[in-house]
Amino acid sequence: MKRFRAGVIRVITLSDQKMRDLHGGLIEKYIPQIETESVCIEDQPEGVHSLYTKAMAVPKVIKAAGKFKDPDVIIVSCADDPGVPELRELLRIPVVGAGSSAAAFARLYGKRTGVIGITDYAPEPFERVFGDGIINLGRPEGVKSTLDLMTDKGKSSVIKKAKQLKEAGADSISLVCTGMSTIGVAADIERALDIPVVDPVLAEAVFAYHEILRTKI
Amino acid sequence: MKRFRAGVIRVITLSDQKMRDLHGGLIEKYIPQIETESVCIEDQPEGVHSLYTKAMAVPKVIKAAGKFKDPDVIIVSCADDPGVPELRELLRIPVVGAGSSAAAFARLYGKRTGVIGITDYAPEPFERVFGDGIINLGRPEGVKSTLDLMTDKGKSSVIKKAKQLKEAGADSISLVCTGMSTIGVAADIERALDIPVVDPVLAEAVFAYHEILRTKI
């Protein structure tokens, strides 16, 4: 099978390689044609969870992008898309963000999407695509970090929030934290509530493949 | 490689099987995990090229969808998305239209897209996603049907129109006729003008794969 190379930027400093490669592994599972290499931004063990930490991440994302050897596409694996517009300006290859990818896919299911993340604000790419169509009822109860998502309590709290968003009129549920992808909660929500759920790592993987096909074939 | 099945509906009556399978072949080339079966709507050799012919096609598309045996996804391979909202209401499996898929991908490149097709109106899925952001300067000169696209003159007329749309401020070019996909003009435009070009058959293929991954994995 023909292989394409994707450089995956993690917007959190992780020393554990298995943790660092978690998103890349999902991307390769979804699109076997893609081979990933993952790089973390430096000096930001707390990741991106606010407008301030997003702004801090931007120059680090640009620096991280320079570490890949001849990639076909660069994926910034964060729903906030830190550094994505800047990298698009700087590079000649396609740059994909989890946030803009997820927002575009969510738009396919209707004009209103309910966002679930670990912050109280909706990521900027969603604001840009949905404007007033975003339904945001805040964080799932008891969930403040991706670690909280890994417990059964965290998962059921996410499903409860999704139910409230559906009742509030959402056409789809958008998971706006990539930690939601690694716990695989999208399928749980779809099963429980019968509503399309947009998973940010799946969305970035599929859009990256679109960009590869658009520019390489 | 695991295989998924896509039922592809062609909104034109074609007796030639090679012609009928043209979109399916592209979809399989883009996503080797997908196996396609193509069915044409009945009694519409002129295809869909107006709001009237679109309305005529809707019940025929619904009928055609009943001919597939246990597909994982149904693709209505037309930028006008005839029957897509209706099929989504009727079926339990994902339904993908070329128009809404292309519009969603185009949204990833910015707020303004320039449409090129064989009709003077922009397809409804684009109106829905872009509103005032559509730039429509009419059909390429001398192009009234997909047949006109297959000549060198037709191709250069498309590229000329794309240039005008870029100069008018388009962030991307959206090809809104699947006949543009079969002549492969997207790559020619990208090379000539350095602007992202959205190809409707590529877009529906990639979105269909997203839907398969969303519901099957």
Mean pLDDT of B120-126: 91
A110 C-beta neighbours (distance < 10 Å), count: 15
Beta partners for residue A116, in sequence order: A175
ipTM greater than 0.95, yes or no? Answer: no
- Looking at the partner chain, which of B29, B32, B206 has a beta carbon nearest the beta carbon of A206? B206
Q: Quote the CA–CA distance of A27 and A9 in Å, as a whole number.
A: 12
Contacting residues for B119 by C-beta, under 8 A, at least 6 apart: B49, B50, B139, B176, B177
Closest CA to B123 of B192, B33, B34, B57: B57
- Domain-by-domain residue ranges, chain B? 4-97+202-216, 100-200
In terms of phi and psi (left: phi > 0; alpha: psi -120 to 50; beta: otherwise), the region of B32 is alpha
Supply the pLDDT for residue B49.
86
The CATH code for residues A100-200 is: 3.40.50.1860
Q: Express each pLDDT in A154-202 by its tens digit.
A: 999 999 999 999 999 999 999 999 989 988 899 999 999 999 999 999 9
Q: What is the mean pLDDT of chain A?
A: 94
| pLDDT band, residue B146 (cuts 50/70/90) | confident
Supply the pLDDT for residue A1.
62
Mean pLDDT of A138-142: 92
| pLDDT band, residue B151 (cuts 50/70/90) | confident
Judged by a CB distance cut-off of 8 A, whether residue B89 touches chain A is no
**Cβ–Cβ < 8 Å for B120, B99:** no
Q: Express each pLDDT in B75-116 by its tens digit.
A: 999 999 999 999 999 999 999 999 999 999 999 999 999 999
B141 has a pLDDT exceeding 90: yes
B145 has a pLDDT exceeding 70: yes
Judged by a CB distance cut-off of 8 A, whether residue B209 touches chain A is yes
Supply the pLDDT for residue A150.
83
Supply the pLDDT for residue B2.
61
Given an 8 Å threshold on Cβ–Cβ distance, is A1 in contact with B213?
no
The CA distance from B199 to the nearest CA of chain A, in Å, is 8
Q: Is the CATH number of domain A4-97+202-216 3.40.50.1860?
A: yes
Supply the pLDDT for residue A151.
87
Given an 8 Å threshold on Cβ–Cβ distance, is B105 in contact with A210?
yes
Task: Tell me how many residue pairs between chain A and chain B have CB atoms under 8 A apart.
Answer: 62
Supply the pLDDT for residue A146.
75
Residue type at position A48:
V
Interface of A with B in 119-138 (CB under 8 A): 129
A147 has a pLDDT exceeding 80: no
Q: Quote the CA–CA distance of B164 and B181 in Å, as a whole number.
A: 20
* Side-chain half-sphere exposure of A199, counting CA atoms within 13 A: 26
The CA distance from B67 to the nearest CA of chain A, in Å, is 25
Q: Express each pLDDT in B158-202 by its tens digit.
A: 999 999 999 999 999 999 999 899 888 999 999 999 999 999 999
Q: What percent of chain A has pLDDT over 70?
A: 99
Supply the pLDDT for residue B33.
94
Question: What single DSSP character describes residue B48?
Answer: S
Q: Quote the CA–CA distance of A17 and A39 in Å, as a whole number.
A: 10
Tokens read off for A188: 């749980």
**DSSP secondary structure, A68-84, as one string:** SSS-SEEEE-STT-TTH
| pLDDT band, residue B150 (cuts 50/70/90) | confident
pTM of the full structure: 0.93
Disruptive mutation site among A4, A75, A108, A217 for chain B (greatest number of B CBs within 10 Å): A108
Interface of A with B in 21-40 (CB under 8 A): 29-30, 32-33
Q: Express each pLDDT in A5-44 by its tens digit.
A: 999 999 999 999 999 999 999 999 999 999 999 999 999 9
The answer to whether A4-97+202-216 and A100-200 have equal CATH topology is: yes
A75 has a pLDDT exceeding 70: yes
B88 C-beta neighbours (distance < 10 Å), count: 15
Q: Which residues of B touch A187 (CB under 8 A)?
A: 217
